[in-house]
Structure formats: structure tokens, C-alpha cells
Amino acid sequence: MDQRFSVEIINVVQSLLAMYVYQNERRMEEMAVKHNQTGNSIISDLGPKSLALERMESKLNETTAILNRHNGILQDILEAEQREKSTTSVHGPNSLAIEKMESKLNDTTAILNRYDGILQEILEAVQREKSTTSVHGPNSLAIEKMESKLNDTTAILNRYDGILQEILEAVQRGMFEKDYFKRPSKCQEGRPIDCNDIPDKCPSGVYKVFPNERQVMDVYCEMNLDEGHWTVFQRRENGYTDFYRGWNDYKSGFGNPKHEFWLGNEILHSLTSRGKYEMRIDLIDFDGNNAFAKYKEFRIGDESSKFKLTADGYYGTAGNSLEHHNGHRFSTKDSDNDNHSSQCATMFPGAWWFNVCLTADLNGQYFLKTPDAQHRGLNWRSWKGSNYSLKGSLMMMRRVSS
């Protein structure tokens, strides 16, 4: 396939993506409005008459939240694909990857069309139920059918979620490779242990590092903030990545180093056992305010210690919420090490160095608004209190001289 023809394919995919995102943004906005109006009308008409209708309102709200998340993923896909197009003329296109992406988009469009039909059925059924309830009382059979349709819709949305995530990750993997080849050659030399070994004036981005003799891995190096050379080991920004995972996932790491991810407790132990490290945590709220917490000594124990945390020598603007967790073991939903009679990792879905239970937790469930219960979400009590879930976090470490 010659380069001109390949670029034409990219143009087609670009047009498809732009049209796809535009159409789905309009659909999602209309659906979300219909969902909210319908759910609120039902509940206001019936009051406390039917718990089943209350469950339906909750399900409608859940569906709206999923639609909003899809909108964000679609935007990321479009932006990543636009970057892909802008670099293709320099680095050459990956025609096979483009064909696969186009196929995935066609599959997703078909799913969306099917979903639209089911959603319309639900809305019409809800309207019919609303019009008859005030005269005849709640129709339990109709409600059951509507609940079943909502469950079907949720299942479709979850499948749709997976396809979108696959496309996004594929595009992002392609961007990793292009970032690598665009950097100055000096930035790729040698076998860096961590970001401390990346030369000065190299850009921030994903680099290959060699934390031990057996491993090579991709890490994100923050080269601009606070004199640079920070190895990022955690990032939260939008809730697209599931952080409610088990011990083995947190041990080996998961996610995308350019976006939401956890580097892995085993690697954290391997690096921090080889030298002295400091840690910096950056936080952002939904109003765009920032704060940081910095620790002069950071270390993670081995697996036999349950990856025990050492974080000493605090200074910063966020307050020392991590002090309560210093010296404690890591807990996940399948490994309870939190000194609590119940299980903190399931009460506050996530994984952390819980200690009866928390004053901080940056691996919790992601919320787009303040959660109903205390300590839920991305929590840093000394900065925003127990009831506030943060928009994002960045956890980084840097090797320092002894």
C-alpha cells in the first residue's frame, strides 16, 4: 500500500471519527435530558408509592452517567486520532492498525444503533406508565418489563464501553511508538533504571526503563515539574480505568502510563530497595485548584511485608493525610491487611495502605460529583475534608543522593 493511498485511508477514518463523535454527542445529550426528565416526572407523580420506580430512577441516573463517560472516551479517541494523523506524514502510517480501528468503529456504530432502539422503547414505556399510573395506580408488570429493558440497556452499554476502550488503547499504543521516535537520540541512550537516568532537557513522556536485570517496562517520566526526573507511579484523571482490583493486579501494575494507571507494588519495592527515594503527590479539585504533598523519604516493602509504606519528612500545601497510613500494609479487596474488623477495601472500593480505615485514598472509586458517603472516592482529608472526591491525582518518586 503506497503512502498516498494510506493517507487517504486516514482521511476517511478521520472523517468517520469526526462525524461519529458529533452525532453521538448530540444523541447522548438528548438521551440524558430525556432520562432525567422522565425519571424526575415519574417520581414526582408517584411519591413513595413504588420502590420499584425508585430503583428505575437510580438505573436511569446510572445510564446517564455511563453516557457521559462514553462521551469523554469518544472525545479522547478523536483527539488521539488527530495526533496520529498529524504525525503520519513524518513516520509513515500503520495501515493495518487503521483498518482495525475502522472496523471497530463500524462495530460500535452498529451497537449504538441497536442501543438507540432499545432506549426509545424504554422511554415510550415509561411515558405510557406515567400516563396511566395516576388513574390506575402502579402497574407492577409494566414496571418489571421496563426494569428488564433497562438492565438489557446497561449490558449493551458495558459492551460498548469495552469496544471504545479497546480503540482508545490501540490509538494510545501507537502514539507511544511515535513519541519514542520523535525524541532526540540522546534521550534513548543506555539502560536507564528510572527517570532519574533520563538526560536533562528531554521532554516528559513514556520511556523504556530497566528497573532490574530481568525487566524492561514503559514508565511516564515527568521532566518539567519541580526540577523533573520524576517516575510517575499513579495517575487518576477521568475514571476510565477500573481501580477496584485484586492483589495481583496491584502487585504487577495495570493501566496506561500516559493516562490512568498503577505502576505496580513489586516494581515500587524493587526500585526503592536499591536506593533512597523521595515522593511527590499532586492533587487537583473540580474547580481547578491544586495542592501537593512531598515526602523526603519514600519506600515500599517486599511482598512478605504486604508492601508496607514508608513516607516520612512531609512538606507541602495539601496537608499530611498520608501520616495516618505511614508504616501500614497494602490492602485490596482480596487481601485484607487494614487492622479493621471489617474490610476497608470493600467498604471504600479501591486499594490502599488502609489503617482503620483512611484519611487518604487516591485509588478509590472515581466520582464526577461529591459522593453521598464519607471517605468515598479520591480522598485527601487534610486538604478537602472527608466528603470531597478529587478530580485527579499524580503520585511520583525520584531517586536522591544518599
Alpha-carbon span 100 to 373, nearest angstrom: 43
Which option is the CATH number for 186-399: 3.90.215.10, 3.30.390.30, 3.40.50.150, 1.10.1370.10?
3.90.215.10
What type of residue is 84?
Answer: E
State the pairing for strand pair 392-400/230-236: antiparallel
Please compute, for residue 341, the number of CA atoms within 13 A of its CA located in the half-sphere on the CB side.
0
Look at residue 135 in the predicted model and tell me its pLDDT.
46
Residues 6+ apart with CB under 8 A from 40: 57
Positive or negative: CA dihedral 190, 195, 199, 203:
positive
Look at residue 60 in the predicted model and tell me its pLDDT.
58
Taking the whole predicted model, whether its pTM rises above 0.95 is answered as no
Look at residue 268 in the predicted model and tell me its pLDDT.
98
Residues 6+ apart with CB under 8 A from 142: 125, 128, 129
List, for residues 304-329, the tens digit of each pLDDT value: 999 999 999 999 999 999 999 999 99
Rounded to a whole number, what is the distance in angstroms from the first to the last CA of the chain? 55
Look at residue 46 in the predicted model and tell me its pLDDT.
43
Alpha-carbon span 239 to 73, nearest angstrom: 10
List, for residues 327-367, the tens digit of each pLDDT value: 999 999 999 999 998 899 999 999 999 999 999 999 999 98
**Residue ranges of domains in the chain:** 7-37, 41-85+92-177, 186-399
- The b/e string for 150-173 (b: 16+ C-beta within 10 A; e otherwise) is beebeebbeebeebbeebbebbbe
Q: What are phi and psi of 281, to 5 degrees?
A: -120, 120
Residue 254 and residue 233 in contact, taking contact as beta carbons nearer than 8 Å: no
Beta bridge partners of 361: 379
Alpha-carbon span 318 to 315, nearest angstrom: 9
Question: Cell 501494575 sits at which residue?
Answer: 253
List, for residues 125-164, the tens digit of each pLDDT value: 666 665 665 445 556 666 666 666 666 666 666 655 555 6
Q: Indicate the range of 140-154, 235-249, 264-278, 305-319 predicted with least confidence.
A: 140-154
- Crossing angle of helices 95-136 and 3-46, in 10° steps, is 10
Look at residue 315 in the predicted model and tell me its pLDDT.
96
Q: Is the pLDDT of residue 265 over 90?
A: yes
List, for residues 165-219, the tens digit of each pLDDT value: 656 555 555 554 455 545 666 787 889 999 999 999 999 999 999 988 888 999 9
